[in-house]
Chain A
Amino acid sequence: MPPKSSQAQVPKKASTKPSKVTNVVKLGSQPQTSSAAKKRFDPLTAFRNTPPSSQNSVEKPQEKVKPPVTSTSASKKGKGKGKEKATGRSFLRPTADQLWVDLYEPTTEAELAVHIRKVEDVRHWLIEAFEGGPTGKLRKYRRILALTGPAGTGKTSTLQVLSRELGFEIVEWRNAIGESSSAAAARPWDESSQDYHALRDYDDSESLFAKFSTFFNRAARGQNLSFCSSSSTQKPPSASSSTHSPPLKKRQIVLLEDLPNVLHQKTQSSFHDLLRAFVESPINPDVNAPAVPVVIIISDTGLRGEARDERIASGFGAGRDSEQIVDVRSVIPRELLQGPYVTQILFNPIASTLMRKALTALIQTHSKQHSDDDTFFKPSKQVLDMVVESANGDIRSAIMGLQFACVVEAPRGKAKLSPGNGAGKGDFVVEAVTRREQSLALFHLIGKVLYNKRKGDIPSSSAKAKDIQKDKELDAQLIDPPGLPEYLAEHERRASRVDIDTIYADSPIDSSLFSLYIHQNYPQFCNEVEEVEGVADWLSWIDSSGGEAWYQANPHQFHLLTLGTIHSLPSPVVRRSQKTYKPEFFDVLQKEKDARDAVRATREWVVAEDMRLNPEARRVCAWGANEVVLELGTILKLRDRGLGPVSVAGSTPTTSPPNQTPTISASPANSTNAPVTARLSRPPRAHRLFTTHLFTKHSSGSPGAAQVNERDAVDLDEGNNDEDDERGCTGAGGGYSLEGEDAEGGWLEGDDIEDFD
């Protein structure tokens, strides 16, 4: 491919020199635009034409004046010039180089694409934090607000808008604080290089945290932060507040977005201590005194680490290292999160209507300001739709994509004249660039596989016309598989609408977790035991394929599992409003771990008893964990009831061995045994975790498992107590629809996000 393009490039350059290229760079009214544009773009094209000879040929036409210069120096010079030009230009028009994201940051609530209700929640909290609600007592419980949600859902923007509206000041922590130039001078590294920063941060991570805690303690007490300027001259930590004057009376909040490295165990625990101390610290009862609530913003990160998951599944002894990701649970200690002092507000991905509205407004503002700018073309509706769709609820990504779309749109001035190919190459480029990874929600992923849609499925009655149309188009592209011979007729299936490569690429979870989700949910989608058998056998085979070590794992697990599942499931799947659940697996694993601890404790108890009562006869400890679990249950229960071998009122003449003393009669009541406990100690209570089995009959389904919500990120945590509260919010008008009642038909038909407006 490279040689081809190099050939094509040369004539094009020559012909389009005067005007066309100008558009690309948006240089506007500058006089020497054409040459500047050339200079700027030549290095790029030169890079594409890797062989130096072709580079030469490209450069030649413009460097006519100085033929003896070598190609490399020439290109360097070109670059330098381009830079010069660029800076000059940005001087002339400061906005041209800026990102729209920064340029058109929302300043009022109306501009905010976040759902009104969410904003209201945050505002409410802040007001309560400052004023203490109707009774004035709520202030005590409004200490920490955690804003969570995927990236680009307007968490920070909401806070900034509210800061303007309510008139408080945001004191923000930046980890880059205290970067003194003296330290830099001592180092041979280039100051600006990335490695340098990384190394430095690593070097004095401790002192960095010390600085943080100083900052936090002072800021949280509402003290003036001017001390910071002494430690770091160039960059005050409260960058966003630098424009405000810092009067003491002004309301402040402390914003922690750039958190200390909580993945580091030690840092995490000290950070937790800091938060605990903050929460416990008494608040100034004077309403007029400034209360300083803390807002922590945490962006959810998807995870997809095979190695990590292996460790999870590797069994009981291994705890789950949830420390691998920064989420609200690693940032805020669990007891605080469940306590009254911390409020968590979850931001949903931005609904497509809201986003479209915001983007349209943004374009209008832009075109108003740049009405003289002939390089700006208003993007077509298709482009806008695509940007919205591909952003997947991330407005930052959407604005970036939009800006990019407006740039690449420009050279297609010709296409505007011939409005036949609306969705041409440009769109394709936009899509390829803007599409975010992990765009398939877990909910959709599982649904896609389990609903097992195949070519020619009769659309469900509730399907929308648009979706039916979509399916038809898809079917047209699907090729029917060749027929199978007679003896394989039972494996005959219609072509599947599931594109495995795509869902694999988009899957937010790795194959191991995926298999757990499939396992949790597949039986509801089957009609007959035979179908269940097929899937179950695939699951079993895939789990056992490959070796013991992680590097021996079967790399095709995901594909095999998907194919095996959709092959085994009935087609079409009967819809009986199935609900998707989260795997119970981890709950069980946790319980098993607890029970195993109990087993260990019991075992130690048995050995200790033996040693205590037969001190002269210490011996090899003969109890394995399995023996304790399988054989000791009855004895333990009897002991629990207070029965001992010699404790029964003597009907049998007991000639007890010297180390046994007959004890007084044992009644079931525990208290009567109290004086005897020195002799007859109780087994650890925890043994019930493995000795007591309650066989309960309950209805089918999985009562213990939490449902998978459409908005759910991958959540491995066992305690999803927040589920119900959150549902209240989303149901009332969050960006996503709920799975519940409208699960039938509506929830998988398309990937577009419904909203309630």
Chain B
Amino acid sequence: MSLWVDQYRPRSLDELQYHRGLSERLRSLAASSDFPHMLFYGPSGAGKKTRISCTLRQLFGPGVEKLKIDQRVFLTPSKRKMEVNIVQSNFHIEITPSEAGNYDRLIIQEILKEIAQTQQVDLNAKQRFKVVIINEADSLSRDAQAALRRTMEKYMSNMRIILCANSTSKLIAPIKSRCLLIRVAAPSPEEMTNVLGYVAKRAGFDLPSEAADEIVNDSGGNLRKAILVLEALKMQSPDLSGELSIAKPDWEVYCHKVADLIVSEQSPAQVMVVRAKLYELLSHCIPPTVILKTVAERVVQKVDENIRADVMHWAAFYEVRMRVGNKKIFHLEAWVVKVMSIYKHFFYDIDMSAFD
């Protein structure tokens, strides 16, 4: 049983149910002779990848859906082997370089060189170029991004690059200027309700409107999440009527508990307790940025509004450091302690000027 998200995913630009203007533009781009490098960006679950694959289909026809998954082994400079999964068809190749950690530059270079130096041999191909899709482009290291910028110009005749990112702010300017930026915004609640209704219809049941509203509210513009929640709810209570309780994922509940810990007590011992929790979250592969964001949002709800701005300010501050640094826990903890300190001082009504 594949997931509904996968099963009912639109496959062509026509099937996309929202952002029709954008779909139109992509269609005409694909038809024109000069298809540019592109950068799709937008929040998670807005349909970036779906849109990319629809565009590919528009470009190359159904052949692009004949995929194979390769496991490629790269040798790092320190002679360690690294396995990276690569999804490819005859017309495109898809990589997620962030899987390779610090060696993403190496992988980008290797793969791009390989693609760029081989011409399209299929005479029936609609286009003379191949497409390289780079997922999670915003987690590329600076090195890798720098390596990309030269390649993008040099091999323009053989290859187009499509980057997919949540935000453009982590990409260097030269890359942004070489791409056509395409923003895929999160769907509006009405659009989401439509899509959910469509999915429900395909799956063979009617979705009560209250349930749809509930799900849409919970998902915060993330369509994938909404559909997954729908599927989960359907598994739990088949008729989808009455009180619906959308269970939050474990990690989110956990993050909220961490926030409660921070607010409940401020002491060195409590720092150790919170640290153990943070370690627990990290060891479950929850991205540190997500941890910081979730905990911070929860803390902000619980503290006085006078210090909310400070809490968020420091969250942003340490998030930047976390990106630069290696040891995520240091920065998470530094933020936790900072918040504890701010909270404590506010509580005891001590002059706050020192913390600005």
Which residues of A are in contact with B by a Cβ distance under 8 Å?
310-311, 313-319, 321, 512, 515-516, 519, 523-524, 526-533, 536-537, 539-541, 543-544, 548-549, 584-585, 588, 591-592, 595-596, 599-600, 604, 606-607, 609-614, 617-622, 624-627, 629-635, 638, 643-648, 650-657, 660, 679-681, 689-695, 698, 700-704
Interface contact A634-B249, CB-CB below 8 Å: yes
Cα-based distance from A591 to B284 in the complex (angstroms)? 8
- The residue that B285 contacts in the complex, of A536, A606, A625, with Cβ under 8 A, is A625
**Pairs A–B under 8 Å by Cβ, sample size 11:** A530-B341, A533-B334, A536-B330, A541-B321, A625-B96, A630-B286, A631-B228, A631-B249, A635-B228, A635-B235, A679-B1
Q: In the complex the two chains form, is A596's CB within 8 Å of B285's CB?
A: yes
**Contacting pair B272 A620 (CB below 8 A):** no
Alpha-carbon gap, A311 to B287, bound state (A): 20
Smallest Cβ distance from A305 to chain B, in angstroms? 12
Partner of A588, one of B7, B279, B337: B279
| Chain A hits for B284, CB < 8 A | 592, 595, 629, 689-691, 693
Task: Indicate which residue in B253, B257, B286, B337 contacts A536 across the interface (CB closer than 8 Å).
Answer: B337
Contact partner of B65 (CB less than 8 A), chosen from A524, A528, A619, is A619
Beyond A537-B334, A617-B11, is A700–B96 a contact (Cβ under 8 Å)? no
**Pick the contact of A529 from B80, B253, B330, B337 — CB < 8 Å?**
B337
Is the beta-carbon distance between B142 and A634 smaller than 8 angstroms?
Answer: no
Interfacial chain A residues near B331, Cβ < 8 Å: 540, 543-544
Q: Is the CB of B205 within 8 A of A695?
A: no
Residue contact A544 to B44, C-beta cutoff 8 Å: no
Is there contact, CB below 8 Å, between A648 and B341?
Answer: no
Taking CB atoms and an 8 Å cut-off, the chain B residues in 274-314 that contact chain A are 275-277, 279-287, 290
Are B6 and A606 in touch, CB under 8 angstroms?
A: yes
B49 pairs with A622, CB closer than 8 A: yes
Which residues of B are in contact with A by a Cβ distance under 8 Å?
Answer: 1-7, 9, 11, 44-45, 49-50, 52-53, 56, 65-67, 69, 78, 80, 82, 85, 87, 94, 96, 98-103, 133, 135-136, 141-143, 202-205, 222, 224-225, 228-229, 231-232, 234-236, 238-239, 247, 249-251, 253-254, 257, 266-273, 275-277, 279-287, 290, 318, 320-322, 324-327, 329-331, 333-334, 336-338, 340-341, 344
A701 CA to B133 CA, complexed, in Å: 46
Contact for A540 among B87, B94, B96, B318, CB less than 8 A:
B318
* Residue among B44, B52, B340 making CB contact with A620, cutoff 8 Å: B52
Do residues B103 and A317 form an inter-chain contact, with CB atoms below 8 A? Answer: yes
Tell me which residues across on chain A come within 8 A of B80, comparing CB atoms.
318-319, 321
Please report the C-alpha to C-alpha distance between residue A512 and residue B2 in the assembled complex, in whole angstroms: 45
* Contact residue among A609, A648, A681 (Cβ-Cβ distance under 8 Å from B235): A648
Interface residue from A529, A611, A625 paired with B344 (Cβ < 8 Å): A529
Residues of B within 8 A of A681 (CB): 1
Q: A606-B3, A700-B272 are in contact. Are A536 and B334 (CB under 8 A)?
A: yes
Residues of the B chain whose Cβ atoms lie less than 8 Å from the Cβ of A692: 250
Chain B residues closer than 8 Å to A655, beta-carbon distance: 204
Cβ-defined contact, A523 with B78, below 8 A = no
Known: A318-B102, A519-B330, A540-B321. A610 touches B272 (CB 8 A): no
Contacts of A596 in B (CB 8 A): 285
A537 and B338 within 8 A (CB): yes
- Contacts A528-B268, A620-B87 known; A585 to B285 CB distance under 8 Å? no
B101 close to A314 (CB less than 8 A): yes
Give 17 A-B pairs besides A527-B268, A543-B327, A600-B99 with Cβ atoms closer than 8 angstroms: A311-B78, A537-B337, A539-B333, A540-B321, A607-B69, A613-B1, A620-B53, A621-B94, A625-B98, A625-B99, A629-B284, A630-B251, A631-B224, A633-B251, A634-B228, A645-B4, A690-B284
* CB neighbours of A619 from chain B (8 A): 6, 9, 11, 53, 65, 67
Cα separation A647 to B277 with both chains bound (whole Å): 37
Q: Which residues of A contact B85 (CB under 8 A)?
A: 600, 604
Complex: how many Å from CA A622 to CA B5? Answer: 10
- B338's partner among A321, A516, A533 (CB-CB below 8 A) is A533
Q: Return A391 CB to nearest CB of chain B, in Å.
A: 36
Are A548 and B142 CB-contacts (below 8 A) given A606-B6, A680-B1?
Answer: yes
**B102 contacts A314, C-beta separation under 8 Å:** yes
**CA distance in complex: A447, B279 (Å):** 24
Query: By the criterion CB–CB under 8 Å, are A317 and B100 in contact?
Result: yes
Contact B327 A313 (CB under 8 A): yes
Separation of A691 and B247 alpha carbons in the complex (Å):
13
Q: How far is the CB of B249 from chain A (nearest CB, A)?
A: 5
In the complex, what distance in Å separates the CA atom of A567 from the CA atom of B246?
49
Q: Which residues of B contact A651 (CB under 8 A)?
A: 238-239
Partner of A700, one of B102, B270, B285: B270
Separation in Å of the B258 CB from the closest CB of chain A? 9
Q: A318-B101, A592-B285 are in contact. Are A638 and B232 (CB under 8 A)?
A: yes
Cβ A614 vs Cβ B49 within 8 A: no
Partner of A614, one of B6, B222, B321: B6
**Known A315-B101, A544-B321; contact A702-B337, beta-carbon cutoff 8 A:** no
On whether A633 and B65 interact (CB within 8 A), knowing A624-B135, A679-B1, the answer reads no
Say yes or no: A618 contacts B337, CB within 8 Å: no
Compute how far the CA of A625 lies from the CA of B281 in the bound complex, rounded to whole angstroms.
15
Q: Is the CB of B326 within 8 A of A633?
A: no
**Which residues of B are found within 8 Å of A533, using beta-carbon distances?**
334, 337-338, 340-341
Q: How far is the CA of A650 from the CA of B234 in the complex (A)?
A: 12
A673 CB to nearest B CB, Å: 12
Contact across chains for B1 and A543 when beta carbons are under 8 A apart = no
Known: A548-B324, A638-B232. A629 touches B286 (CB 8 A): yes
CB–CB B87/A633 < 8 A: no
Partner of B143, one of A529, A536, A549: A549
For B254, give its contact among A310, A591, A653, A693 (CB under 8 Å). Answer: A693
Given contact pairs A314-B101, A624-B96, A532 touches B141 in the complex (Cβ within 8 A): no
CB contact under 8 A between A592 and B283, given known A620-B56, A624-B96, A627-B224: yes
- Are B341 and A529 interface neighbours, CB within 8 A? yes
Report chain B residues within 8 Å CB of A679.
1
Q: Are A622 and B53 in contact (CB under 8 A)?
A: yes
**Most chain A CB within a 10 A radius of its CB, from B9, B135, B272, B331:** B272
Interface centre among A523, A620, A633, A653 (most CB of B within 10 A): A620
Contact B337 A532 (CB under 8 A): yes
A610-B7, A645-B234, A693-B280 given as contacts; is B224 within 8 A of A529 (CB)? Answer: no
Given A318-B80, A622-B6: A660 and B334 within 8 A (CB)?
no
Which single residue of chain A is at the shortest CB-CB distance from B277? A695
CA distance A260 to B261 in the complex (A): 53
CA distance A527 to B271 in the complex (A): 12
| Residues in A whose Cβ lies below 8 Å from that of B249 | 630-631, 633-634
Closest CB in chain A relative to B97 CB, distance in Å:
11
Residues of B contacting A532 in the complex (Cβ-Cβ under 8 angstroms): 268, 271, 337, 340-341
Chain B residues with CB under 8 Å of A646's CB are 1
On whether A588 and B324 interact (CB within 8 A), knowing A523-B271, A613-B2, A631-B224, the answer reads no
Q: What is the minimal beta-carbon distance from A550 to any residue of chain B, in angstroms?
A: 10
Nearest B residue to A694 via CB reads: B280
> Which of B66, B141, B250, B266 has most A Cβ within 10 Å?
B250
| Set of chain B residues within 8 Å of A700, measured between Cβ atoms | 269-270, 272-273
Decide if A645 touches B231 in the complex (CB within 8 Å).
yes
CA distance in complex: A656, B7 (Å): 13
Q: Is the CB of B235 within 8 A of A626?
A: no
- In the assembled complex, how far is the CB of residue A254 from the closest CB belonging to chain B, in whole angstroms? 32
Complex interface: chain A residues within 8 A of B321 (CB): 540-541, 543-544
**What is the bound-complex CA distance between A643 and B237, given in angstroms?**
11
B238 touches A621 (CB 8 A): no
Nearest-CB distance from A187 to chain B (Å)? Answer: 29
Establish whether residues B53 and A633, one from each chain, have CB atoms under 8 Å apart when the complex forms. Answer: no
Question: Which of B3, B272, B275, B290 sits near A630, CB closer than 8 Å?
Answer: B290
Chain B residue at minimal CB-CB distance from A543: B325
B13 to chain A, nearest CB (A): 14
How far is it, in angstroms, between the C-alpha of A624 and the C-alpha of B87 when the chains are bound? 12
